Structure 1
């Protein structure tokens, strides 16, 4: 395969030759080999495939929401060529047997993948660390509302064991002790609570209640605690889905890396009246001022990674009260298109998008063959036309859940996605097509 006259993220126009599963050469006027599929990229960009280090493909246990087939097709259609699946499935990925079960489902993946191991009160570290873990996480620090919630002592023990095993730790940092219980129905008085006018004394049921309950202060405090524990253990600590400028700054000050999500970059509490419970996620949406401040930290380099926390639920599950609806939104297919639309609008540089979606996550999580368009790297490549933005519609996406919080936003979607030299997604003709399930565990 030869990509002809492709514009790279740094503006250079180059040919890129693929031999088998890796990039063989990057240069000018490269000759095509006999039988090469020549891809004309004149006027288009060739990017490294995105590495989404935070997805929930839901299997085992919740295949009605998503499965490895639908999730990986959605990833490929969005230019994501590697994903890292989180452990809060059923059973949770907390021991070797659960790891092996999840990997059997991942055989259906069109994209490469890593599998995170998790921590619960009854986790088996000896069994878990015997598997080819991508990372130890997602560890919920002091978050009693999560299925993977652990207390501070267990968190410290898990971090110490991760340091001994030389694996990074991914942390969901929210301190449940700082949630505002007065907002909940039946909660204590004070805070943002009070009678909301419908007889629900001491609680709120509006769409913004979840954001009021899971306070910004809860995130910043938990990040500070987590980075201190990580520093004491001398472990590589990564803060998941940081939603506040205070959280981003605390991670950077403590020597940890951090990710932000597209929904925290492009949505705020101002969008909740329209989104309703479809805008409920953990951490929740923040104020418009905090959203803008997080986006600025993405621009200036303080944010290391953009990852989706792709967490699909069915429409029926989300169409419930604010206290009953499950948390989470889909996003693996729309991350890169949204960021590329921001490039098109002049809000981000293409090099910055390349770094936070590919180069940085590959470097942070030890994937030397991923994240760059360079000879010797895996041929994980995405062809995009920045002049071909289109409206995002849930009906056009490929996640099993069939909806998106970004309905009506503009996105620049890939024309072609290649995973280790295999065509995973092709929208160059009249009909889009998907490739075979060639995804591999990147730790093997």
Structure 2
């Protein structure tokens, strides 16, 4: 494939030739193009380092097929799935079961492992080497939560194996139980969703990040803090030499939106006030934040249509991450180069994917082509996730015209909904066999 006259994030106009799975050449190449990209933006395929595709255990919420279709339609060409499925991905058997289901993926994937109270570290670090995902400092979400002593043990073992630890940093001992006790009895969009933000306080996140970084520093482990929501937490991670991510919902939504969202806006960590959101956005813009990842966690409308105490936490987002960021770039809120770095270049570096994250000769031909002038209104019914809804309903997005995974077209605007075969493959260190 020859893509001609494409504009890169740095403003350079180039031709890109793809041979097989790789980028063969970038420059002024000549020849008859397969795609005339004049006036369009070509980005490296995004890497969403934090998704929950729900299989095994919860295929009514999402499957590897539907989740990866949604990713491809949003310009995401690699995902990293988290371990809190059923069974959880905490041993070789759990990994193999999930890997078999992941064969249905339309995009490349990594699979994170996790730690539970009765973990067997020898099994966990058998083949493959796992990154540790969704490891909590306190038991705040059921079986994927662990106590402080076990957290230190897991981080120490990860350091010895040279594995990055992805931490869900919230200290459940600092949650405000009174906030939930006093919450109203509304359901769905009429629920008292702000009570959830009060309950899972900002201080619970900040203190947990500080503790995680302290443990990581003491053991020499590489710590990556998932879904940070506070400027204080981001600064604590940065000052300690840890990396961190921010989710689109914490970047574009705040507690001011909860009157409209209700339980559809319940997630962990929760939405913060507008002042904190603006401060987080500034840290995304200025380079303090390393990457944006979605924590894509779909639930059905029926599951969300309940009270704030009972509703499941999480929102879909893998398809809208890059579109939201590009729309923000078109508004002048951040640069196209920053969008590229946050969604592709930085996660490729941090998660050791050396052939991904750049439009450069020799790299995997993971590419997404966008028309920056085609700003659309986001509608949940038009997205590809099984959830069928989005917390970003009515907001602006710039969606891809074309998405390639290792040279294969996995999404093309206007074509049939999806392709006939899955193209994705396993990537990263956590791959068996």
**Same topology, TM > 0.5:** yes
Corresponding position of 1:214: 200
The question of 1:330 aligning with 2:316 is answered: yes
Q: For the residues of structure 1 that align with 2:312 and 2:417, how far apart are their CA atoms?
A: 32
Does structure 1 residue 371 correspond to structure 2 residue 367? no
Match 1:94 to one of 84, 90, 97: 90
Matches within 5 A, 1:147-296: 147-185=143-181, 206-296=192-282
| Aligned-partner SS, 2:250 | helix
Alignment pair present for 1:74 and 2:70 = yes
Distance in 1 separating the partners of 2:334 and 2:391:
21
1:129 lines up with 2:114 in the alignment: no
Are the aligned partners of 1:48 and 1:382 in contact in 2 as well (CA < 8 Å)? yes
User: C-alpha deviations, 1:36-70, integer Å up to 9, x for none?
Assistant: x7111000010000000000000000000000000
2:422 is the alignment partner of 1:437 = yes
Find the aligned partners of 1:385 and 1:242 in 2 and give their Cα distance. Answer: 30
Pair 1:297-2:283 in alignment: yes
Identify the residue that residue 298 of structure 2 maps to in structure 1: 312
Q: Which runs of 5 or more residues in structure 1 are unaligned? A: 186-192, 199-204
Q: How does 1:372-391 map to 2 (within 5 A)?
A: 372-391=358-377
CA contact (8 A) 1:99 1:128 kept: no
Map of 1:396 onto structure 2: 382
Give the secondary-structure state (helix, strand or coil) at the position aligned to 1:372: coil
Q: Distance in 1 between matches of 2:367 and 2:420?
A: 14
Measure how far apart 1:129 and its partner are.
1.8
Corresponding position: 1:352 with 2:348:
no
Question: Normalized against structure 1, the TM-score is what?
Answer: 0.93
CA 1:197–1:4: 2 relative to 1, 3 Å: closer
Select between 15-24 and 131-140 the one with higher mean Cα deviation. 131-140
The 1:77/1:134 distance shift into structure 2, 3 A limit, reads farther
In structure 2, the residue matched to 1:120 is 116
Using the TM superposition, give the Cα deviation of residue 408 of structure 1 relative to its aligned residue in structure 2, in angstroms. 0.4
Describe the shift of the 1:400–1:126 C-alpha distance in structure 2 as closer, same or farther (beyond 3 A).
same
User: How much has 1:28 moved relative to structure 2?
Assistant: 1.0
Question: Is the contact made by 2:165 and 2:222 (CA closer than 8 Å) also made in structure 1?
Answer: yes
1 CA distance for matches of 2:184 and 2:72? 47
Report the more deviating stretch, 83-92 or 118-127.
118-127
In structure 2, distance between residues paired with 1:11 and 1:145: 44
Deviation at 1:431, TM superposition (A): 5.1
TM-aligned CA distance change 1:417 to 1:197, over 3 Å: closer
Query: What is the DSSP-based 3-state SS (H/G/I as helix, E as strand, rest coil) of the residue aligned with 1:117?
Result: coil
Question: Do the aligned residues in 1 keep the contact of 2:115 with 2:135 (CA within 8 Å)?
Answer: yes
1:2 aligns with 2:2: yes
Alignment match, 1:54: 50
Structure 1 ranges of 4+ moved more than 2 A? 29-32, 130-134, 143-147, 429-436
- The 3-state SS of whatever aligns with 1:16 is strand
- 2:188 is matched with none
Residues of 2 paired with 1:432 and 1:93: CA distance? 30
Three-state SS of the structure 2 residue aligned to 1:374 is coil
Q: CA deviation at 1:343?
A: 0.7
Offset of residue 131 of structure 1: 3.0
Report matched runs for 1:36-51 at 5 Å. Answer: 38-51=34-47
Between the aligned partners of 2:80 and 2:184, the Cα distance in structure 1 is 44
TM-score (norm 2): 0.96
Shift of residue 140, structure 1, vs aligned partner = 1.3
Q: CA deviation at 1:438?
A: 1.3
CA deviation after TM superposition for structure 1 residue 79, in Å: 0.3
Deviations 1:81-135 (A, max 9, x none): 0000000000000110000000010000000000000000112222222233451
With over 3 angstroms needed to count, the CA separation of the structure-2 counterparts of 1:406 and 1:220, relative to structure 1, is same
Moved more, 156-165 or 78-87: 156-165
Aligned partner of 2:23 in structure 1 is 23
Q: Does 1:111 align with 2:107?
A: yes
DSSP 3-state at the match of 2:400: coil
8 Å CA contact 1:145–1:176 kept in 2: the answer is: no
Query: Structure 1 residues 25, 149: CA separation in 2 closer, same or farther (over 3 Å shift)?
Result: same
Gaps of 5+ in 2: 186-190
What RMSD, in angstroms, separates the aligned Cα atoms of the two structures? 1.5
